[in-house]
Amino acid sequence: DDGYDHAAVERRWQEAWDDASVYRTPDDVEDPTYVLGMYPYPSGQLHMGHVRNYTITDAYARYRRMRGDDVLHPMGWDAFGLPAENAAKERDTNPRDWTVDCIETMKGQMESMGFGYDWDREITTCTPEYYRWNQWLFVRFLEEGLAERRDAEVNWCPECETVLADEQVEGDDELCWRCDTPVGTRDLEQWFLKITEYADELLDDIDDLAGWPDSVRQMQRNWIGRQGGTELPFEITETPRAPDGRDEGTEPQAYGSVEAFTTRVDTIHGATFFALAPDHPISESLAETDPDVRRFVEEEADPDGDEPNGVATGLTATNPATGEAIPVYVADFVLSEVGTGALMAVPAHDERDHAFAKKNGLEIRPVVAPEPEAGEEPTVPDVESAAFTEDGVLVNSGTYDGLDSETARDRLTADIEGAETATQYRLRDWGISRQRYWGTPIPIVHCEACGAVPVPDEALPVELPEFVNTTGNPLDAAEEWKRTTCPDCGGDAERETDTMDTFVDSSWYFLRYVSPELDEAPFDRERANDWMPVDQYVGGIEHAVMHLLYSRFVTKTLADHEGLDHREPFENLLAQGMVQLEGEKMSKSKGNVVSPQAIVSEYGADTARLFTMQAAQPERDFDWSEQGVQSAYAFLARLSELVEAYAAGGIETTDEAGPIADYLESETEAAVVVATEEYDELVFNTAVRGAQSLVGTLRQYREYAAVHGESFERALSVAVRLLAPVAPHVCEELWETLGGDGFVVDAAWPEADTDRETVEKRRRLVENTREDVRQIVDVAGIDDPERIDIVVTPAWKHEALNVAIDSDAPNVIGELMQRDDIK
């Protein structure tokens, strides 16, 4: 039994499924189950990560279908993006043709894997039929006040000549994620979607996402980064400085009050200086008259540097708790987009402030001590060499001495005039403008008289012009395309030449699948309300933050404004682990890539699928192993041989039931119970293992004796169905061989009328019995070891016991007779 004709079997059933349209989504939906794998970027090659991702969704979709659900399991292409543009430049073609080619290749590869998609619902984001709705959504965002144009400093990759999202800038060296060039900055007018307006809801609703991995939920929480703190005013005074030649004797001048944000107002008595961001309005106005400040702001400030840098301003701030005048600096570790862009600095309790104070010879005054032992006085910490950053007990803080940090924060916020509790987020608005060709044109017309005017819905889509190979943005070079008239006043105007971040495409694509051809709206509300949320979403952990957060945000806006009844898009999320080789991620640069196509042609898709599901739990990384592939293949070959031998009458059968048939029936039940539970939880490796061991038992039984026809056949039919979600082609073939009704794809999932607990109990009993019988046989010298592995019912043990008694092995018998289950 060293093989089977996998190529013929797979070809045959792929055609038969296709002819019968077995994967069509039903129109009437009673038990909707929406199973979705993250759609791929059409790079042109399906890799092992795809194979694993899509085998998980496919096996689960097949399982749910056999359970009788109405299943939506679609596939599409995340088809815009930089690689297509770069490839087009390299090959002197255009991004569209390159993308279409890649899609064709990958679709063929997916079909060869036997993934059961409803291809009638295929979507491709670079088609005007799709991106039209990105534009439509953008105009809705504008109408709702959720989109805005702002001047913004952006990450700029000089090599790709494009703006990068923060997340596309990698590592401490801040390199471009695509080309590893060091990233710089630029000021540009950019479009933003105001995701920050949903920050609280996005954060709070994470608590309800019980079907998501904790790690992903925590990553989302950290990304949103909500922090409670205090905002409080500091009076700023101009103290004339001698070197400026100004008169030292005059009265200080009031400069106004500046708000600072702090999470540690309990440390306010230790605030020994005040710091402003380089682009704080006060810093900018000082820069006009003070050459030191100007030089710092324009040249020296380096927010990404290892050390905090700053320049004294000659201003002082009044500490509202102590009334003390403290110096004001402009410092590059203060960020204008965090809090208020100004902070009270406490060198004794904050690391950056400490480093800055050391550098500039400023006072380091400890005001919080570690919590003392009960009944003891707090010991003021030594903060000369490092800050003490934890909460503790206040010292050097006047009437607040002895309070714990938390209580002190509440008191001080209440006591300081003008202080208020405040919340601050790490999350920023979503900048979606990209200076790139291969994306959705932002549907805006710039008119000198009317400003930025949205393109009316009737005029959508704004289609991309033909690609031209230039160094900059091809849309800027498309003179004819750019020239247009203003939708408001009819005057001459120019089109916006930026395109959208491709994360816009993927932030709602799961909704397009419910009505992919709809011409009036991005999605059919009723169908979306039926199918959504996605029951099971599967994809890579690299999308744990942005894609999932943007999708959640857009879903919430659609619930608020477009009649969607769901506020969360993905009910259950599985982040699949990596397929590695010798512990390393497969990558072209490491030269350790195993091609799925090679495996499919040598062993078949079923083997590739079985191996990837069997190797580990879906969340775990696992190592590719040729040996593992071969053993998966050998298993499928043995299964085929067994079923075919049985169907061809090559296995001797009897009508007479007996202990072996009983045993087999309960093993079959057990396999159903375990596999069902494990498929429900997407623990495919365990589900498969159960079915495989049932097949092993059947093979032993057949070796041993004439098999009980009815229970043997039922066991075969069960094994084939339990394995069908993972190895669909060969199971379809064997289902036919067994005379099953219709396709196994549509067959009913086998039922069992026992539960897991009973199964486990029985298994333990069987194990004990088997152990006992082994001993008996050993001592009695019964030469029939095969039989032990099969015949392990208590009834048979008695039989074996009798043999043992006959053969006079008193010690073992005596020992065995002590046990309850034998007496």
Q: Which residues bind ligand ANZ (CB under 6 A)?
A: 261-264, 267, 277, 334-335, 338-339, 341, 343-344, 346, 349-350
What phi and psi, each to the nearest 5 degrees, are found at residue 642? -65, -50
Axis-axis angle for helices 626-647, 728-737 (nearest 10)? 10
Name which of ligand ANZ, Zn ion, none residue 489 binds, using a CB cut-off of 5 to 8 Å depending on partner kind. Zn ion
Name which of Zn ion, ligand ANZ, none residue 488 binds, using a CB cut-off of 5 to 8 Å depending on partner kind. Zn ion
Q: Rounded to the nearest whole angstrom, what is the least distance from the CB of residue 139 to Zn ion in the complex?
A: 16
Name which of ligand ANZ, Zn ion, none residue 528 binds, using a CB cut-off of 5 to 8 Å depending on partner kind. none
Q: Rounded to the nearest whole angstrom, what is the least distance from the CB of residue 263 to ligand ANZ in the complex?
A: 4
Number of residues that bind Zn ion (CB under 5 A): 7
Could you tell me which stretch among 76-84, 254-262, 480-488, 815-823 binds Zn ion (CB under 5 A)?
480-488
Cα separation, 743 vs 750, in Å, equals 15
Tokens 């539970």: give the residue.
677
Name which of ligand ANZ, Zn ion, none residue 341 binds, using a CB cut-off of 5 to 8 Å depending on partner kind. ligand ANZ
436, 253 Cβ separation under 8 angstroms:
no
Cα separation, 133 vs 760, in Å, equals 53
Q: Rounded to the nearest whole angstrom, what is the least distance from the CB of residue 489 to Zn ion in the complex?
A: 3
Name which of Zn ion, ligand ANZ, none residue 785 binds, using a CB cut-off of 5 to 8 Å depending on partner kind. none
Eight-class DSSP state of 158: T
Q: Rounded to the nearest whole angstrom, what is the least distance from the CB of residue 228 to ligand ANZ in the complex?
A: 10
From the number of C-beta atoms within 10 Å of its C-beta (0-12, 13-18, 19+), residue 722 rates as buried
Name which of Zn ion, ligand ANZ, none residue 813 binds, using a CB cut-off of 5 to 8 Å depending on partner kind. none
Give SS3 for 544: coil
Establish if 317 lies at the interface with Zn ion (CB under 5 A). Answer: no
Residue 192: strand pairing partners: 148, 431
Q: Rounded to the nearest whole angstrom, what is the least distance from the CB of residue 208 to ligand ANZ in the complex?
A: 26
Q: Rounded to the nearest whole angstrom, what is the least distance from the CB of residue 351 to ligand ANZ in the complex?
A: 8
Establish if 486 lies at the interface with Zn ion (CB under 5 A). Answer: yes
Establish if 414 lies at the interface with Zn ion (CB under 5 A). Answer: no
Name which of Zn ion, ligand ANZ, none residue 449 binds, using a CB cut-off of 5 to 8 Å depending on partner kind. Zn ion
Establish if 489 lies at the interface with Zn ion (CB under 5 A). Answer: yes
Name which of Zn ion, ligand ANZ, none residue 486 binds, using a CB cut-off of 5 to 8 Å depending on partner kind. Zn ion
Q: Which is nearer to Zn ion, 488 or 571 (CB)?
A: 488
Q: Which is nearer to Zn ion, 20 or 489 (CB)?
A: 489
Q: Rounded to the nearest whole angstrom, what is the least distance from the CB of residue 397 to ligand ANZ in the complex?
A: 13
Name which of ligand ANZ, Zn ion, none residue 524 binds, using a CB cut-off of 5 to 8 Å depending on partner kind. none
Tokens 């702090």: give the residue.
262
Q: Rounded to the nearest whole angstrom, what is the least distance from the CB of residue 394 to ligand ANZ in the complex?
A: 12
240, 246 Cβ separation under 8 angstroms:
yes
Q: Which is nearer to ligand ANZ, 234 or 437 (CB)?
A: 234
For residue 223, which of 551, 503, 506, 544 has the smallest C-alpha distance? 544
3-state SS of 188-201?
Answer: EEEEEECHHHHHHH
Q: Which is nearer to ligand ANZ, 262 or 397 (CB)?
A: 262
Q: Which is nearer to ligand ANZ, 136 or 425 (CB)?
A: 425
Name which of ligand ANZ, Zn ion, none residue 262 binds, using a CB cut-off of 5 to 8 Å depending on partner kind. ligand ANZ
What phi and psi, each to the nearest 5 degrees, are found at residue 312? -70, 150
Q: Rounded to the nearest whole angstrom, what is the least distance from the CB of residue 347 to ligand ANZ in the complex?
A: 9
Name which of Zn ion, ligand ANZ, none residue 338 binds, using a CB cut-off of 5 to 8 Å depending on partner kind. ligand ANZ
Furthest C-alpha separation in the chain: 121
Q: Which is nearer to Zn ion, 335 or 489 (CB)?
A: 489
Closest CB to ligand ANZ: residue number: 349
Q: Which is nearer to ligand ANZ, 259 or 778 (CB)?
A: 259
Cα separation, 795 vs 132, in Å, equals 72
Q: Rounded to the nearest whole angstrom, what is the least distance from the CB of residue 574 to ligand ANZ in the complex?
A: 32
Q: Rounded to the nearest whole angstrom, what is the least distance from the CB of residue 302 to ligand ANZ in the complex?
A: 14
Residue 152: strand pairing partners: 188
For residue 296, which of 281, 312, 307, 285 has the smallest C-alpha distance? 312
Cα separation, 367 vs 791, in Å, equals 77
Site string for Zn ion, 424-453 (x = CB under 5 A): -----------------------x-xx---
Written as six digits, the tokens of 97 are 């043709």
Q: Rounded to the nearest whole angstrom, what is the least distance from the CB of residue 447 to Zn ion in the complex?
A: 3
Establish if 674 lies at the interface with Zn ion (CB under 5 A). Answer: no
Q: Rounded to the nearest whole angstrom, what is the least distance from the CB of residue 38 to ligand ANZ in the complex?
A: 31
3-state SS of 545-613?
Answer: CHHHHHHHHHHHHHHHHCCCCCCCCEEEEEEECCEEECCEECCCCCCCCCCHHHHHHHHCHHHHHHHHH
Eight-class DSSP state of 166: G
Name which of Zn ion, ligand ANZ, none residue 335 binds, using a CB cut-off of 5 to 8 Å depending on partner kind. ligand ANZ
For residue 324, which of 400, 271, 253 has the smallest C-alpha distance? 271
Cα separation, 588 vs 586, in Å, equals 7
Cα separation, 513 vs 213, in Å, equals 25
Establish if 488 lies at the interface with Zn ion (CB under 5 A). Answer: yes
Give SS3 for 435: coil
Q: Which is nearer to Zn ion, 447 or 730 (CB)?
A: 447
Element at 32 (helix H, strand E) = strand 32-37
Q: Which is nearer to ligand ANZ, 270 or 522 (CB)?
A: 270
Q: Which is nearer to Zn ion, 225 or 490 (CB)?
A: 490
Residues ≥6 apart with Cβ < 8 Å to 320: 232, 233, 234, 235, 268, 416, 417, 418, 419
Give SS3 for 239: coil
Written as six digits, the tokens of 89 are 């430049």
Q: Which is nearer to ligand ANZ, 274 or 438 (CB)?
A: 274
Residues at the interface with Zn ion (CB under 5 A): 447, 449-450, 486, 488-489, 491
